Amino acid sequence: MFTKSGMQNKKQNEKFCNRLAFTVLILIAAMVMLPIYWIFRSSLMGSLDIFIWPPKFLPMGTINPSEWNWSNYTIRSANFVFLRNLMNSFAISVPCVIFGTATAISCAYAFARLNFTGKRFLFSLCIGSMLLPTMVTLIPLYMAWTYLGFVDSYWPLILPYLCGGGAFNIFLLRQFIRTIPRDLDEAAKIDGAGYWQILFNIIIPSIRPAIIVISLLIFITTWNDLLQQMIYIHSADKYTLVLGLTAFFGNFKADFAGMFAATVLTFTPGLIIYLVCQRYFIEGIVMTGMKN
């Protein structure tokens, strides 16, 4: 059956398929990157040059063709105060990441390792909440936060992350913890370690990739959550990056260059964090193996 030429043929076939896949991927990847590049290009041009026809693919203006217009980044509009908005965004996202990750780890540990009555019921409640549209709970939560006097502060955006950090994250961590052999915690238990010790000394060190994944996921969700930020934050000095950008877009006056520069600035923090951790990030999700 398997002649040598047949095997070679198969190998060649395989090689051809890989090359084809590679070409298609490069083409699509270029299309994926193009919009991002385009925003960057436009942010370095004069407002009048951005929409000239045919478009220029390099950021060169008609007035001074050789120079990149970095001055767009000293943004003129009073509506977009980048540094203040940036700090505000961090003031929301950092506590969310810390609280959300910590509580998600503790819940995932209990679901993955410990036996207790009502485990199945609680777990299905938890998984079920993934399907529950958050939009339905917005009005009652808004009323509750108003009653507590927390509107126009960051508390309504931060406090929910004290409560498990989201069902999907708990699920992801639980899956990951279940891939760690139980022998380790059994051994530790025999040596007299308590549950907290097992959690801190055995579980947490071995699920580091998954922890990075969920911290990033929480960071992205809180950083980008325009709707809730719009509902709860009213005063301009508390605006976050996305709120600032949306407001800027809402009343910009043909200052296209400034608009694009503001957009690039809004992209950058997430981009930097992603580039630093992206290796762990995708590996982490892939490793959890998303079974079931």
Partner 1 sequence: MAGKKKKKSLMEKKEQRAAYVFLIPAFLGLSLITYIPLLAAMAIGFTDLRTGHFVRNRVLPPPRFVGFDNFVEIFTNPTIDFLNSIGVTVYYALFAVISSVFYSFFIAILLNRKIPGRAILRAIFYLPYILPAAAVMISWHFLLRYEGGLINYFLVNLGFERSHFLSASETVIPSLVMIAVWQCGNLIVIFLAGLQNVPRVYLEAAEIDGANFLKRFRHITVPCMTPIIFFNMLMSLVVSLQVVVPALSVTRGGPGKSSMFMTFLMYHVGFREGDLGKGSAISFIFFILAAILAAILFMTSKSWIFYEEGED
Closest to partner 1 by CB, 72 vs 288, is: 288
* Tokens describing residue 134: 């958050």
- Residue 171: CB minimum distance to partner 1, A: 10
**Contact between 126 and 111 (Cβ < 8 Å):** yes
Which amino acid, 258? G
Length of the chain: 292
Task: Report angle CA 212, 213, 215 to the nearest 5 degrees.
Answer: 65
Dist CA 223 CA 72 (whole Å): 24
Q: DSSP class of residue 202?
A: I
- Residue 71: CB minimum distance to partner 1, A: 19
- Residue 26: CB minimum distance to partner 1, A: 8
Closest to partner 1 by CB, 10 vs 208, is: 10
- Residue 67: CB minimum distance to partner 1, A: 21
Closest to partner 1 by CB, 68 vs 252, is: 252
Dist CA 70 CA 118 (whole Å): 60
Closest to partner 1 by CB, 36 vs 63, is: 36
Closest to partner 1 by CB, 88 vs 288, is: 288
Dist CA 224 CA 222 (whole Å): 5
- Residue 117: CB minimum distance to partner 1, A: 7
Dist CA 64 CA 251 (whole Å): 28
* Tokens describing residue 82: 């980048």
